[in-house]
Structure 1
Amino acid sequence: MEPLTFFMGSYTEYLIPEFGGIGKGIYTVQLNTETGELSVLHTQTVRNPSYLALSDDHKFLYCSTELDESEKPRVKAFRINSDCSLQFINEQPIEGGYPCHIVVHEKNVLLACYATGNVIQYPLEHLGSVLPVATNQRHSGSSVNKDRQEAPHAHQVTVHPNNKDIYVCDLGIDTLKAYEIKEEKLRPNINKDVSISEGGGPRHMVFNPSGKLGYVINELTGKVSVLQQVDDVFKEVAIYNSLPADYSGTPSASAIRLHPNGKFLFVANRGAELLTIFKVHENKLLNIEHQYTHGEELREFNITPDGKWLIACHQNSYDTVVYRIKEDGKLEETYRTKEILSPVCIVFLNQSKT
């Protein structure tokens, strides 16, 4: 079986005394698809590349440097070499603070800034370089959690399977702000904005393959909002707790992924340090297991395109854990390493499905 190559972002410095890391930048890593073992192939020095995105043709990789606005964050473009190392192309300044998520869509980089609550569009040149800002959309408002929702906090940009509708999870205003690209500009589509239960703090979301259902993980409650499309607009139709009933800590949900087969939904929670596995049945979820990951600050995870492996990142204890995904959706740990320091995200280079 062919090994699987992926890139991992890391925190290389501390944003505030209690949050950050000591990583080396962007790691190129290889997964042995028989044993689950990981090997680090290359590292690329970048400041706090906390989220990564690949171009559609997988020739280029993009990241933002998650920094305070006063530290002059940047969006950076890299060429992916034949050995999967990275070659810097160019960068552009980010007009916002703590850029925390990035996607590539229709020859654009779309970037969410947490601290300043804005979404920025950068067109891409055909040789991979990032062009200057085309639009900078700023959110407004607040919500009920006075400590965390005092202002907008754009947290993730997600493109709907129709490849047209764009949704931005905003933790600060309990809203998914809807956008579309019109005449090559990112434009609000307020008729499709989605309200989430007050105080939830929507962080990340995924859609099912048909695009009729969406799942939002709410950072501030640890709850999953199920969204259903009604007359071309999404509505929150159900809420499920991803934390154990006896969990008494402060919720800090961090990531959500749908299995490629659409049958299982996985959710990560920091503090509790566990992955919650739901079985998907139409628009309902059945909690089938809590998988404790035995690390600290379970920041992100991703599922290999063939659906056979799940790889989890622990920001503070440096544990990268590889699980084999069983047919019933449950997880079996096969490998663990602390070689990758302060790991916080994963994108897969080989996207072929079996």
Structure 2
Amino acid sequence: MKPILFLIISIISLSKIHAQHTYTFFGSFNRDKDTEGLYVYELDTLSGKLSKVTSFTGMLNPSFLTVSPNGKYVFACTESKTKNGGSVSSFAFDPEKKSLTLISKQKSGGENPVYLTVHPNGKWLVNGNYTEGSVSVYPVSENGQIQPYVQNFQFAEGSEDPNRQERAHIHSTVFSPDFNYIFLPDLGADKIRTYRFETEKDQPLQPAAIPFTATVPGSGPRHLTFHPNGKFAYCIEEMGGAVSVYSYDNGKLNSLQRIHTHSEKYKENFEGSDVHVSPDGRFLYASNRGNENNIAIFSIRDDGTLKTVGYRSTKGQHPRVFNLDPDGKFLIATNAGTGTVVVFRRNPETGLLKKAGRKIKIKSVSCVEIRRY
């Protein structure tokens, strides 16, 4: 074989061995454990096309999920919205075999688990339960096995809306940029609760000097995210139709701004759901359900405050969780009401979104996580 031809073949072979793949993991409210509930697709990072890789059948309502820091395990809120149910489960994902296998399952400590986050050391999992308003903390073994929870804090007080805020409703569990604190937006109490997180202790959740940040009464804080620079935090309200902007320092949130996520033509029926900052830190995206079914787009100023750029329909109803790929090229939205997933290409200069590829159908799809391998 000629040396040049051999070199070309070797380069091609090496590129195949070391090729990167971007996988998208979808959760859903399947309502029947004998049907598919968790799905894995591969994202074509040139075209935005999604291609099915595998799925898992045998778990009820795996509605929210997250991926371990090493990418080997998928953790899911399972049996969500299930009477006398509520659990968290772990699955092994093998990108070579393209398989998803159940590893373990534990009680969630509440009837309706809605959000999971994993510590970057991979040893701790924190779950938020909506209905009873509680948070549970689990040790995780090296093989992805979830151990029984070692802490389960129940909260009680509600706020001003008797129909929606009769008691506490924890809707997310989010680590601070340095992972020394964890924040718990409480939709029912109009508070963002705060705890120190001490990884070396048997019970890592410890009282913080500032135990909570009060939000606007009746706003219903839902999801929280931090700017890549670690200096700012953004909380979307489910009930108030706004994003609250905070500066962040050592466990303390200081209010900077509160800006509507809806356009002027929408005067009521606000229902915010999710919020993310682009990897480049230049734009913030917030999803609206209710009458709107869109993504609100904001530019981020140097001081962390937001300026409205525009809105993009999610091409479906009741967008729940959306996410951006690691490069910030694509935004993927899940429309639970219509059971559709839509991929948008993101303009890095303007922040605007343009539909890419074809919709895919996943019944009652509720969550998406994106990971490069």
Give the stretch that moved more between structures: 303-312 or 1-10: 1-10
Q: C-alpha deviations, 1:68-100, integer Å up to 9, x for none? A: 464322211111123332111111122211100
Please report the TM-score for the alignment, with normalisation by the length of structure 1: 0.93
1:337 corresponds to 2:356: no
Q: C-alpha deviations, 1:44-76, integer Å up to 9, x for none? A: 122111111111111111112143464322211
Distance across 2 between alignment mates of 1:162 and 1:262: 17
2:173 alignment partner, SS class: strand
1:278 corresponds to 2:298: yes
Q: C-alpha deviations, 1:100-153, integer Å up to 9, x for none? A: 001111411100000000000010111110111100011231111121111000
Q: C-alpha deviations, 1:312-336, integer Å up to 9, x for none? A: 1100112211111012100111123
Q: Determine the structure 2 residue equivalent to 1:10.
A: 28
Q: Determine the structure 1 residue equivalent to 2:172.
A: 156
Give the stretch that moved more between structures: 192-201 or 217-226: 192-201
Instruction: Tell me by how many angstroms 1:338 deviates.
Output: 3.5
1:246 corresponds to 2:265: yes
- Is 1:77–1:91's contact at 8 Å kept on the other side of the alignment? yes
Q: Determine the structure 2 residue equivalent to 1:320.
A: 341
Q: Which amino acid aligns with 2:45?
A: T
Q: Could you list the runs of 5+ residues in structure 1 that have no partner in the other structure?
A: 15-20
Distance across 2 between alignment mates of 1:65 and 1:308: 30
Q: Determine the structure 1 residue equivalent to 2:74.
A: 61
Residues 41-190 of structure 1 mapped to structure 2, 5 A cutoff: 41-45=53-57, 46-68=59-81, 70-81=83-94, 82-105=96-119, 106=121, 107-182=123-198, 183-185=201-203, 186-189=205-208
Instruction: Tell me by how many angstroms 1:3 deviates.
Output: 4.2
Q: C-alpha deviations, 1:179-235, integer Å up to 9, x for none? A: 123323122325252111111100001011222210000000110000113675212
Give the stretch that moved more between structures: 21-30 or 198-207: 21-30
Q: Determine the structure 1 residue equivalent to 2:287.
A: 268
Structure 2 CA distance for partners of 1:286 and 1:68, relative to 1, 3 Å: closer
- Is 1:23–1:340's contact at 8 Å kept on the other side of the alignment? no
Structure 2 CA distance for partners of 1:97 and 1:155, relative to 1, 3 Å: same
- Is 1:22–1:341's contact at 8 Å kept on the other side of the alignment? no
1:207 corresponds to 2:238: no
Distance across 1 between alignment mates of 2:23 and 2:248: 35
Q: Determine the structure 2 residue equivalent to 1:40.
A: 52
Q: C-alpha deviations, 1:265-316, integer Å up to 9, x for none? A: 0000012101000000022211001112221111111000001000111001
- Is 2:179–2:197's contact at 8 Å kept on the other side of the alignment? no
Q: Determine the structure 2 residue equivalent to 1:27.
A: 39
Distance across 1 between alignment mates of 2:189 and 2:66: 25
Give the stretch that moved more between structures: 73-82 or 198-207: 73-82
1:288 corresponds to 2:309: yes
Distance across 2 between alignment mates of 1:67 and 1:89: 18
C-alpha RMSD of matched pairs (Å)? 1.9
Q: Determine the structure 2 residue equivalent to 1:18.
A: none
Equivalent residue pairs, number: 345
Distance across 1 between alignment mates of 2:97 and 2:293: 34
Q: Could you list the runs of 5+ residues in structure 2 that have no partner in the other structure?
A: 1-18
Please report the TM-score for the alignment, with normalisation by the length of structure 2: 0.88
